[in-house]
Structure 1
Amino acid sequence: MAERLRVLLQRARTVKQSTSLEPPLPVSELVTNTDHILGSVVGDKEVHMNAIETAARNVFYSTLASCPIGDPSFVDIWNLLDILQYCGDRDLCPAQLVLLLIEELFDSQPISGCRIVFTYLESRREAIIANPSTNKDLVILRFSNELLRRLSRAEDPVFCGRVYIFMFQSFPLGDKSSVNLRGNFHVENVTTFEDYLKSTGSGEEGTEMETDIPEDVTNTRGPEVTVVQPDEPEHASPTMDIDSLYPVFWSLQHCFSNPPRLFEEKNFREFQKGLEATLAKFKEVPKVIQSGESERKSGAKAGAADDDDDVASTFNPKYLTSRDLFKLELSDLAFQRHILVQALILIDFLLTLTEKAKKQPYYQNAQRAMLYAFTLRQEDTEWALGIKNSIANYLQDGPDGNYYYRMVDTVLSRDKNWVRWKMDNCYPITRDRIPTKEYLGAMSGTETELRKKDVKIPGPNQSFKFLSESEEGKGVAKLKQAKRCAAPSIDSYAKKIQMGELDLEMVSSEEEKRQLEERKTSNTWRGLRMASKHRLSSLDRLEQGKGLEKLLQPVTSMEVAGEDTGPTAPEGRDSVPQERHQSVEEQRPDQRSQVTANDAAD
């Protein structure tokens, strides 16, 4: 069998003239009889499979030892893998054999060689996962995790992303392979800071940590920066000085890596004070914006594609806890945003432990490891909601703040759905296809029912007695109510949407759920129509499917600047009466004619 594989590799050089990994080898052109492409042995199927695997490994090792990965003759390895993939799909050799050899290939290469091997893996991904099996999944998980352990997120962030994307594309959406069934936290990820300052804050001696952040503040190449001075409020409360804040700030990382620490009253109060002091300091210091951020974004908008080395050289997810760098880090806008996103993740975790959240059905059905005896008190819940709102407002301020916060909020919202799915024992996501016969029968039945409906058209002698009813709230009296002549406020629509969302959590039937969703959509549309007249600059805050609460938040400095640059109203028309902003449908007939006449005069 080994000799037969070598003969096939010689023929492959003639069929495939290229020495690169692309295009794939057309294996079907090598032999005419695919049933015995690798030969046969005396014995059962297991003996046959073991013989093929042994022969393939002998050829693989001998070829690998004779040529480096950058040599043109290394094409024999790619051709051998293509042949084994072809045979595995036809049950002529073990289906996972090609993945086992790729795993061996990863182990034999440095990181630069692993990039080339992974490029081959990406180019053959569809063929490899076309016939899924448990044996294949286990090998993919094993070598992907091993590769991620070898890679540095600081040195190879793009390569790490390629590995994650390959795993996401190789496994179905509802696969449980990545579920943390025991609910463990990354408690090994602890932080340490300089000993002579630990007396002023909390810390743990003898521990080390690599905290994920960009290295822009320590870039020795000296990139150009933009400094933005913060707005100074008239009555600003004093904030901590740098030396006092240093241990308090880095102590937050203990809670970020191990949230159950906050179940203790002392730790929770320290976290409160530390997060509030950190946010206040962020607002106080001048912002330093690295030039690389704007350049990368402008390049992305223009459709430019940076290579891995360029991107990796401008981004490094590692923070240093040196005291000398602390002042510089506090002023870095990217540093601030990263820390605040960590805080948002932790606050969302705390909000899942409120008394109301624990009454949800999915929490009742959660695994025992995900059930915590701790319940967040009402006053702590109000604090968490308040600090979350403050962080959201701060993230929206600054360059591209609205875009950045929208991206973060979208990711965190989707993550909540995944957490709920995991807590609910990972119920199946996929649904079986509806049989064609059943689908056609449903369509036919619907058409039959619609034909039975008789449309009744009211006759000319319809009674209008209801208009003569004089009771309050009926007839003409109902049309004369004062509330019909005033436009509703945005706040009223926002409250209706909030009440509707609470009702949606307690629905008992699909029909009731559909009615509530339609009512929510109607109130959202009406609120947006009203906001377009009074809060047009705030519409960028909203997202599809969310409420109108963000419209009620104070206008940020960026929005004020945007409004100031808009067209100036003509002299004498700076103040427009409230009635002029009401839609024609929401005004009484006498008001409608008056407004129309005023518009014509203008």
Structure 2
Amino acid sequence: MSSAGVSSVDSSTNAIRRLLDKAQEVKPNGGIDPALTAQDFEGGVEEIGKQNGVSNRDYAAIETACRNIFYALLASTSIEETSFGEVWNLLDLISILSDLEICEPSLLFWLVEELLDTQTIGGCRIVFDYLDSRRERITAKHFNKKSLIILRACNELLRRLSRAEDTVFCGRVFIFLFQSFPLGDRSSVNLRGEYHVENVTVYENLPPKAELKLEDDMEVDQKDEKAEPEHDGARNEAALAQANSALENPENAPKAVKFDADDEKAQEQPEDMDMLYPIFWSLQENFSTPTRLFDAANLETFQKGLSSTLVKFKGVQQDLQARGTSKLHDDGKRGVKRKRNGQEDELSSSFNPKYLTSRDLFGLEISDLAFRRHVLVQALILIDFLLSLTTKAKRKLEHTSNKSVLYTYTLSEDNAKWATSIRSEIATYLQQGPEGKFYYRMVDTVLSRDKNWVHWKAEGCPPIQRDPVSAADFSEAEKGTQKACANKRLRATPMGSLDLRFLSDSGDGDGIDKLKDSERYTIPTADSFRGPIAEDDFDIDMAKTGEEKQQASDARASKLWRALRVASKSKLNLFDKIDDGNNLQALFQPEEEESKDKTDVDGTEQTSDQPAKDSVLNGTSTEQKMVDENEVEAPPGTPAE
């Protein structure tokens, strides 16, 4: 791009070259690090701003000057050379100018986009080394004007990369995007809920195994060999129809599952590899386009296919465990730990963006644990999608505004039960094998967060970014925190405390002496409740309202209970004379009358019947005892009667 003799462009070019010469003195090595700052140019950046101003015409002049220098450096140097450091210095300078609003804010990423287009994959890795080291700085200001260019440049680079060979580099690009864009940005939301229908899985159309075994019918074999290849979609449909017919009529398929209505265990036998092959790969069409399952026929076919696949996976898992156990038993102590560690490393590093669908590789792929887990995770995603279409789940999204991701289809109760049961079986299966529980916990966590993401998208992606706290609010919160955490001196009368001054300020003496009065802790007598109970009886008779009568009755019952409790220690024998708390005279009569009632047994006075019982037991009567006493008390010389 030529300046065409424009004075503003020439002056801007000269000023930028002087700044680049100054940067060469600061960074003589020509590397990516360290990043240049405005202080490194000793005020030269501010002079460009004063010289050109901030109008659109001045923006164009600076942009033209930067592009001229940029193209000249690209044409004369290679990215692997040390002299390419001038390009990094130029990009740092443009970043400083954009932050100071001296040039167009998006100029930096315009040049980076063109730089990526001119480099090989190895050169793009070096460019991303620069972007990763400057990410926070170049995205801090004016990001809204840079976001579309960043997204476009990264997407163009991802189209050039191979997900199988450049997996790590693709991850770097995605991480750069995730760290640059805010979490609530709509650039990667897919608001309309579109599916990747272009992802078509092509697999082979295998002839029936019965035809392969007909050795006498050579014409059939030759016809199959010379048959022209059909269209991919028609070939897949033919293979799937053949497999479905074998499922419906298993007696026509050798070595297939033999279904018996009376034998439920026969249904759990794994499918033959040739029969499972088209059924298994046909699941990928449902994974890429889940809305196909809204058709009842497709949903039924998917249920059969997924159940057969899971049964086969369980059978393969058992076979591998049996082989591994016998192999370890034969090997003894030879390298057991090393093999286990190698298997874990293989599982952690295995990644396949798209698996091969050759029939010859199908058995090897099925025996791979990472392959089985990958397919079952796809099934979990689709099953969660189906469960989100139940009546209960759809009721939670009735208030959402984005109707493009809401479907009118409702999953039936029977299909919901099937989805729940098959999801439980898949979860149990994923927890088996090396680090199975950790693997399933990771998958379950991702799927749980994805549900929140879907709900947020259904609500129209409301902003989730909170504004920063203002300086005034922060200062007020800091003061409140300091006040709450400061050491406080107790008040003389803290809030909620009981005022105890009555103990010492009593007018007629010390309040503590009143607390020591014996009346406070001496057990009262039963007779002391006689008067209060009589007053309560009078209040019950004179009560005018039901509430007053109830209060008097409660007070009488309380006093009666206490009186009976005290009297139970000395007058328990009188309780049978009390009729439901009404006849209390026997309880409150003096002790003399009580003792008088206890006398007069058979016309004689005695305090107890124990002496009479003793006399009877000793064989003597009362008259005999009196005669003996007279004989003892008679004086000597008195004749006996």
TM-score (norm 2): 0.60
Mapped pair 1:73 → 2:94 = no
In the other structure, the counterpart of 1:102 is: 112
Structure 1 residues 67-146: aligned runs within 5 Å: 67-146=77-156
What is the letter of the counterpart of residue 287 of structure 2? F
Cα deviation digits, residues 104-160 of structure 1 (max 9, x gap): 100110111000001100000011011133211111111111111111111111111
Q: Distance in 2 between matches of 1:102 and 1:297?
A: 40
Residue pair 2:431, 2:437 contacting (<8 A) in 1 also? yes
Residue pair 2:287, 2:379 contacting (<8 A) in 1 also? yes
Match of 1:454 among 492, 496, 505: 496
What is the letter of the counterpart of residue 14 of structure 2? E
Q: Distance in 2 between matches of 1:275 and 1:370?
A: 25
In the other structure, the counterpart of 1:205 is: 234
User: Structure 1's 36 and 53: CA in aligned 2 closer, same or farther, altered over 3 A?
Assistant: same
User: Structure 1's 119 and 292: CA in aligned 2 closer, same or farther, altered over 3 A?
Assistant: farther
Higher Rg: 2
Mapped pair 1:340 → 2:369 = no
In the other structure, the counterpart of 2:434 is: 399
What is the letter of the counterpart of residue 416 of structure 1? K
Q: Distance in 2 between matches of 1:370 and 1:70?
A: 48
What is the letter of the counterpart of residue 113 of structure 1? G
Residue pair 1:353, 1:376 contacting (<8 A) in 2 also? yes
Residue pair 2:283, 2:306 contacting (<8 A) in 1 also? yes
User: Structure 1's 10 and 366: CA in aligned 2 closer, same or farther, altered over 3 A?
Assistant: same
Structure 1 residues 278-357: aligned runs within 5 Å: 278-285=309-316, 286-287=319-320, 294-295=341-342, 315-357=351-393
User: Structure 1's 53 and 292: CA in aligned 2 closer, same or farther, altered over 3 A?
Assistant: farther
Residue pair 1:27, 1:86 contacting (<8 A) in 2 also? yes
Residue pair 1:52, 1:93 contacting (<8 A) in 2 also? yes
Instruction: Please identify which structure carries the higher helix content.
Output: 2
Where 2:411 maps in the other structure, the secondary structure is coil
In the other structure, the counterpart of 1:58 is: 68
Residue pair 2:77, 2:84 contacting (<8 A) in 1 also? yes
Mapped pair 1:260 → 2:296 = no
Where 2:98 maps in the other structure, the secondary structure is helix
Shift, 1:235, TM fit? 7.5
Shift, 1:349, TM fit? 0.5
In the other structure, the counterpart of 1:37 is: 48
Shift, 1:455, TM fit? 7.4
Deviates more, 1:438-447 or 1:22-31: 438-447
Residue pair 1:203, 1:251 contacting (<8 A) in 2 also? no
Computed over aligned residues only, the root mean square deviation of the Cα atoms, in angstroms, reads 3.6
In the other structure, the counterpart of 1:431 is: 466
Residue pair 2:186, 2:461 contacting (<8 A) in 1 also? yes
In the other structure, the counterpart of 2:201 is: 191
Question: What percent identity do the matched residue pairs reach?
Answer: 50
Mapped pair 1:22 → 2:33 = yes
User: Structure 1's 266 and 377: CA in aligned 2 closer, same or farther, altered over 3 A?
Assistant: same
Residue pair 1:4, 1:38 contacting (<8 A) in 2 also? no
In the other structure, the counterpart of 2:419 is: 384
Match of 2:307 among 276, 282, 292: 276
Q: Distance in 2 between matches of 1:133 and 1:125?
A: 11
Q: Distance in 2 between matches of 1:249 and 1:167?
A: 35
In the other structure, the counterpart of 2:538 is: none
Residue pair 1:287, 1:332 contacting (<8 A) in 2 also? no
User: Structure 1's 299 and 253: CA in aligned 2 closer, same or farther, altered over 3 A?
Assistant: closer
Cα deviation digits, residues 83-103 of structure 1 (max 9, x gap): 111111111111111111111
Q: Distance in 2 between matches of 1:82 and 1:140?
A: 17
User: Structure 1's 298 and 274: CA in aligned 2 closer, same or farther, altered over 3 A?
Assistant: closer
Instruction: Between the two structures, name the one with larger relative contact order (CA 8 Å, sep ≥ 6).
Output: 1
What is the letter of the counterpart of residue 195 of structure 2? F
Q: Distance in 2 between matches of 1:28 and 1:37?
A: 14
User: Structure 1's 49 and 428: CA in aligned 2 closer, same or farther, altered over 3 A?
Assistant: same
In structure 1, list runs of 5 or more residues that go unmatched: 209-232, 302-310, 466-602
Q: Distance in 2 between matches of 1:197 and 1:181?
A: 43
What is the letter of the counterpart of residue 325 of structure 1? L
TM-score (norm 1): 0.64
Mapped pair 1:413 → 2:441 = no
Shift, 1:27, TM fit? 4.3
Q: Distance in 2 between matches of 1:129 and 1:409?
A: 33
Residue pair 2:98, 2:104 contacting (<8 A) in 1 also? yes
Where 1:79 maps in the other structure, the secondary structure is helix
Q: Distance in 2 between matches of 1:363 and 1:425?
A: 13
Q: Distance in 2 between matches of 1:111 and 1:207?
A: 36
Structure 1 residues 519-538: aligned runs within 5 Å: none
Shift, 1:185, TM fit? 0.8
Match of 1:372 among 407, 411, 436: 407
Shift, 1:296, TM fit? 8.5
Cα deviation digits, residues 3-52 of structure 1 (max 9, x gap): 332232222221112221111134422243432237835x8711000010
Equivalent pairs counted in the alignment come to 419
Where 1:327 maps in the other structure, the secondary structure is helix
Residue pair 1:287, 1:333 contacting (<8 A) in 2 also? no
Shift, 1:168, TM fit? 1.0
Match of 2:185 among 175, 192, 201: 175
Q: Distance in 1 between matches of 2:26 and 2:132?
A: 23
In structure 2, list runs of 5 or more residues that go unmatched: 1-11, 211-230, 238-263, 325-337, 486-492, 500-519, 522-553, 555-641
User: Structure 1's 298 and 259: CA in aligned 2 closer, same or farther, altered over 3 A?
Assistant: closer
Shift, 1:298, TM fit? 6.3
What is the letter of the counterpart of residue 116 of structure 1? I
In the other structure, the counterpart of 2:4 is: none
In the other structure, the counterpart of 1:489 is: none
Q: Distance in 2 between matches of 1:441 and 1:38?
A: 42
User: Structure 1's 336 and 359: CA in aligned 2 closer, same or farther, altered over 3 A?
Assistant: same
In the other structure, the counterpart of 1:241 is: 272
Q: Distance in 2 between matches of 1:381 and 1:8?
A: 68
Shift, 1:421, TM fit? 0.9
Cα deviation digits, residues 403-458 of structure 1 (max 9, x gap): 111111111111111111111111222334372476479879999xxx9973799x
Residue pair 2:390, 2:410 contacting (<8 A) in 1 also? yes
Residue pair 1:12, 1:79 contacting (<8 A) in 2 also? yes
Q: Distance in 1 between matches of 2:188 and 2:202?
A: 30
What is the letter of the counterpart of residue 275 of structure 1? L
